[in-house]
Every structure is written in structure tokens, then in C-alpha cells.
Structure 1
Amino acid sequence: MKAEKWVFWFIFLFFLVVTPVYYFMSREIAGTFVLGFTGLLGGMIAGYLTLTARSFDPRPEDRPDAEVYEAAGNVGFFAPKSMWPFWCALVVAVLALGPAMHQAWITLVGVGIGIWALSGWVLEFYRGDYKH
């Protein structure tokens, strides 16, 4: 958690300095609030990481005496091949095409194809070669 903690403390301090500079240079209140709340969000996350990092053992990345093999492990399961991300991307394109061409029926076709494509992607490991 050390690296993450310091990244968010940097974000907090950066926006703590940038917010008043932005206000005095632009006299614009909306951007000032956005920058200020971005800094507060960074500070909130940094404080959370600082407090919770004390309550559990450090990861191998945080220990100077750690070996490389200690950080190795099971990352997760990834689909070996799948056609469904392609169809979902095509659905997003069709959904964007409807409003761009002012044609509601194109969007409705995209919704219909989207139900099929998203169902296929979610349920791809319940049938076929990679059934669990």
C-alpha cells in the first residue's frame, strides 16, 4: 500500500496548490470547486490507505527484503477466445449511430442485438467448449 498511498497524497497536495492558483488566475468558481473536490477526494483516499495499511501485513511489494516469487500467484481466469466482445462493440456502434442519424429504429435494433450479444458474453461459459 505504500506506493498507492504516496500517489494519492501527491494528488491531494497537487490539487491543494493548484486550486487557489486556478481561482486567482481565472476567477471562475465552478472549476475551482471541481479542482478543490478532486483534491479532497485524493486526500480522502490517501487517508483511508494510510489508516488501513497499518492493520494488515505488508504486501511483498512493500517489503525491502521480499523476493520476486512471493508476489507471483494466480491472477485470475481469462477467456482463451471469445467472439462476444466484438459483437458488444458492434452494438455500441449501432446504438451511437441511431441518435447520430436521428433514427430511433436504428437504436431499437441496437438494443435487440445488444440483448443477444450481452447474453452470449455473460453465458459463454455455461455452454460449448469451455462449459464449467
Structure 2
Amino acid sequence: MKTSAKLFLLGIVFFFPIAVIYGFFTHRVMGQWEPVGVIGIALLGLMSGMVGLYLSATIKKLDNDPADNPEGEIADSAGEYGFFSPHSWWPLALGASAGLVFLALALTHYAGWWLFPVAVVAGAVSLVGWTFEYFRGDVL
């Protein structure tokens, strides 16, 4: 995990200068400053830094990760990683409703705005259904 944190923190050092270089060359070649690429690359550096800082703060609260041991074996990382639903249909419903949201936004001129709220409600129901799929209430 320490390596991951360092890698993401290096993204700050890499992406901010690249944003400046990109802005310089687009201004030089095109004759005008192209703001979308510069802002996008700078935001990428900012997000990389946010993940790196989060991982750095999390490392202090956890035990040593097997990946941080230079003499560690792959088998050291074996074990349970969590519970994953083997047969859930909720991701399909959530993906379909997200597709309907984007379809409604793309076709607002033709289909009107009636499809958008229907798709948002379907997406909210799907998200709640997937989140609470295995929740059966409090156990006494």
C-alpha cells in the first residue's frame, strides 16, 4: 500500500508540469490557449494527489500490507477479500436505468423530458435494491 500511495503522489509531480507543457504547446501550435485539456490534466493531477493522500493516511491506521514486504511471496496476500454476490440481478437493472438516463438526456428534443424522471426513479430503486440486497433487518 505504501507503493501505491507513493505512485499516486508522484502523479502530482507528473501531471501538473504536463498540464503546463500541454498548454504551452497548444498555444504555440494553434495560436490560442486550449483550456479543456489543460484543466483536465491539472484535475487529473489533483485527483491523483487526493488518492495518494488518502492512501497515505490509511496506511497509518492499518497493519503492514503483504505487498509492502520486499521479500514477500504472492501467497502472503491470500485470504478472504470480502463478500461478493454470486447471482445478483441489481447491477443489470442499475445499468439499464443509467442507460435510460443518458438516452433521455440525448433525446430530450425528440422524446421530451418525461423519460428522464422515470429513468432516475428506476435508477434510485435499483441502487437501493442492490445496496440492501442482503439486508434482512437487525438480528436480535
TM over 0.5: yes
- Aligned counterpart, 2:73: 67
Map of 2:19 onto structure 1: 19
TM-score normalised to structure 2 length: 0.62
1:87 and 2:96 are equivalent in the alignment: no
Taking the aligned partners of 2:16 and 2:129, their CA distance within structure 1 comes to 47
For 1:90 and 1:109, the matched residues in 2 are separated by 12
The residue type paired with residue 20 of structure 2 is P
Which residue of the other structure, out of 121, 129, 133, is the alignment partner of 1:120?
129
Percent identity over the alignment is 30
Any unmatched runs of 5+ in structure 1? none
Query: Which of the two has higher C-alpha Rg?
Result: 1
Q: Matched residues in 1 for 2:53 and 2:91: separation?
A: 38
User: Partners of 1:17 and 1:120 in 2: how far apart?
Assistant: 44
Structure of higher RCO (CA pairs closer than 8 Å, 6+ residues apart): 2
Residue 92 of structure 1: how far off its partner (Å): 1.8
Superposed CA offset, 1:27-74 (max 9, x none): 327354554454455456556756875786532111123233332222
Runs of 5+ unmatched residues, structure 2:
28-32
